[in-house]
Copies of this chain bind each other. A is one copy, B any other.
C-alpha cells in the first residue's frame, strides 16, 4: 500500500493490529470511550484553521461550508459521547428466571448489544470531514467499541493523513488501546482489507456502481460481513399549485439548494415537480450564481458528461443554462444548470434523465395531475435518501397519498425547505430503500451506532462473569429493561383483551 509514492505498506499488520485492539477496546468503560471521542472532537477543533485550509486546497469547497462541516463533525463525535454515556443504545434486557413461565421453566437470560469487531470505513470525496476520516461512520463505530480502519478517499489525501494523525494522537492521549484507529490508502488496499477475515463490518459512502461492487465482495467472503453502503439518491421535490402560489421565491430557493457545494451533495434535490402553468420566479432575475470548482478532475469529467446527456435529451427546455470550464490542471468549474420537462418527456427520456447528476444540475418537471404523483413517484424513484413536499395546510387531505408514497420509498420526508443540510441529531435518518443505502440503515444520527453492534445473551451467568451493563448492581447506570417473573406473556390476560 502506498502511503506516499514509493512507500509500500503491508496490510496484514494493519488488520492484525485492528484485531488485537478488539478485546481491550470492547473492555473500555463507556465514560472513558466518551471522553476519548470528546478529546478527538477537541483536537480537531483545535486544528480547525489548518484543516480547513488543507480541505479548501484539496476539494475546492468554500471556507464557510468547510467550517460548518467541521463543526458538524466534531458535534457528531460529542453526540456519540452522550449516547454511550447514556447507555440506552446497549438495549440491555433482563429476563428474570421464572419457574412458572407458560412454556416451561424460564432461565435467567440477559441480553446486551456488543461491538462487532474491526470496521472498515470507506471515506467519501464530497464531505472531507463529515463523511471522511473522522466522520460519522468512524464516530459511530468507535462509539460502539469497534476498532476502525479508514480507507482514505484519494480526493483529499493530505487532509486525510493530517486528520488521521490528530485522531490517533487524541485517542492515544485518552488512553485508548493501540490500533483502535488506522488509515490506509489505495483502492486495491481497501478491497484487500474488505476481504480480510479479521474485518467484521464495512461502511461506505460513494457511487452506486462502486458500492454494489464492494457489497458483492463483502457478501462473497467465506464468512460474509455486513456492508453498510450509502450509494445514490436523486431526492425529488414536489410542490402543489397552492404552495407555488404561496412561495414566490421557490425557484431561487431550489437553485440555492442545487448549487450549494456545487451540487456535490447526496441530498441535492435532483427533481422539482411543479404543476403545468404554475408561475415560477423568473430565472433571468436571479443573481447569477458564482462559479464553483468541482471536487477533483474525475468528478468534473463525469459531471460534464452527465450534463451533456441531459441537455441533449429530447424535449428538454433549458431554464438556467449554466456552464462548465476546464483549467490547465483538468479541474472543472461550474455554474448551475436547470432544465425543464413534462412528465411525458421524462418518462420517454428516463435513461438520460433519471440517473443522479453529481454536481450543480437539476430537472424541473411540469405535472398535470397531483393525483397521479404517488404512482409516478413509486415507479420512478423507488429508493431515496430524501423526498420533499411543498404544500399548504389546506392541501393536507389531497397530498396524504403522496406522503405515503414518499415515506415508503425514502429515509427522510421533508415538509417545506430543501433536503440539503442534514442535521445531526437523535431522530435523523440518512439512508433509505436501495439504492439510497444497501440496507435501509442510517449513516447519520445516533441510530447509526446500531450498525456495528450485535446481540449476545447470557443464560444463568454468575454476576462475576456478566458484562457490566447486565449486572444487578448496574455499575454503568445504563437503562435495563427487566421482564419480571410472573409477568410472562401468554398467561391468558392477553386473550381477547384488545
User: Does A287 lie at the interface of the complex (its beta carbon under 8 Å from any beta carbon of B)?
Assistant: no
Residues from chain B with a CB closer than 8 A to the CB of A224 are 215, 434, 438
Contact assessment for A103 and B71 in the assembled complex, using a CB-CB cutoff below 8 Å: yes
Q: Please name the residue on chain B nearest to A410 by beta carbon.
A: B456
| Cα–Cα, bound, A106→B383 (Å) | 25
Contacts of A457 in B (CB 8 A): 411-413, 427-429, 445
Q: Quick check: B456 and A32 within 8 Å, CB to CB?
A: no
Q: List 21 A-B contacts (CB under 8 A).
A: A42-B495, A71-B102, A75-B489, A78-B490, A81-B494, A101-B423, A104-B423, A109-B412, A109-B423, A109-B425, A110-B427, A111-B429, A393-B464, A407-B467, A411-B454, A412-B457, A415-B459, A416-B460, A425-B488, A427-B457, A447-B455
Whose C-beta in chain B lies nearest to the C-beta of A382? B223
Residues of B within 8 A of A74 (CB): 490
Docked complex Cα distance between A226 and B101 (Å): 33
Given contacts A424-B103, A429-B455, contact A415 B78 (CB under 8 A): no
Nearest CB of chain B from residue A94's CB, rounded to whole Å: 6
- Is A93's CB within 8 Å of the partner chain B? yes
Q: Is A417 an interface residue (CB 8 A)?
A: yes
Contacting B at CB under 8 A, from A412-463, are 412-417, 421, 423-429, 431-435, 438-442, 445, 447, 454-462
Q: Does A35 contact B (CB under 8 A)?
A: yes
Nearest CB of B to A403, in Å: 5
Shortest Cβ distance from residue A67 to the other chain B in the assembled complex, whole angstroms: 11
What is the CA–CA distance of A407 and B107 in the complex, to the nearest angstrom? 18
Chain B residue contacts of A196, Cβ below 8 A: none
A498 touches which of B31, B410, B488, B494 (Cβ 8 Å): B31
Interface: A496 (CB within 8 A): yes
A-side interface residues toward B, CB under 8 Å? Answer: 22-23, 31-32, 34-35, 38, 41-42, 68, 71-72, 74-75, 78-79, 81-82, 85, 91, 93-95, 101-104, 106-107, 109-111, 114, 116-117, 215-216, 219-220, 223-226, 382-383, 393, 396, 399-400, 403-404, 407-408, 410-417, 421, 423-429, 431-435, 438-442, 445, 447, 454-462, 464-465, 467, 481, 483, 488-490, 494-498
The CB with the most chain B CB atoms within 10 A, among A23, A95, A393, A465, is that of A465
Question: Given that A426-B483, A434-B224, A498-B31 are known contacts, is A72 also in contact with B103, CB under 8 Å in the complex?
Answer: yes
Task: Assess whether A426 is in contact with B460, with CB atoms less than 8 Å apart.
Answer: no
Asked if residues B425 and A483 are in contact (CB atoms below 8 Å), the reply is yes
**Which residue in chain B gives the minimum CB-CB distance to A225?**
B434
Contact of A417 among B41, B460, B494 (CB under 8 A): B460
Select which of B215, B382, B410, B425 is within 8 A of A95 by beta carbon. B425
A399: chain B residues within 8 A (beta carbon): 465
7 closest pairs, A vs B, by CB?
A429-B457, A440-B454, A93-B427, A75-B490, A79-B489, A35-B498, A111-B427
A413-B68 contact given A95-B426, A434-B223, CB 8 Å threshold: no
Given A74-B490, A109-B412, 5 further pairs, Cβ under 8 A: A38-B497, A78-B495, A116-B440, A411-B454, A429-B456
Contact of B82 with A494 in the complex, beta carbons under 8 Å:
yes
Query: From residue A40, how far is it (CB to closest CB) to chain B in Å?
Result: 12
Kindly list chain B residues whose C-beta atoms are within 8 Å of the C-beta of A72.
103
Contact flag A404-B103 (CB < 8 Å), given A425-B109, A456-B412: no
**Shortest beta-carbon distance from A320 to chain B in Å:** 26
CB distance from A324 to the nearest CB of B (A): 30
Complex CA gap A400/B464 in Å reads: 9
Query: B427 and A226: CB pair below 8 A?
Result: no
Would you call B103 and A415 a contact (CB within 8 A)? Answer: no
Shortest Cβ distance from A190 into chain B, in angstroms? 19
Q: Write the nearest CB–CB distance from A225 to chain B, whole angstroms.
A: 8
Asked if B440 contacts A95 (CB within 8 A), the reply is: no
* Contact of A75 with B95 at beta-carbon distance under 8 Å, contacts A423-B109, A447-B455 already known: no
Q: Identify the closest chain B residue to A494 (Cβ).
A: B78
Contacts of A425 in B (CB 8 A): 95, 101, 106, 109, 483, 488
Q: A216 — nearest CB in chain B belongs to which residue?
A: B219
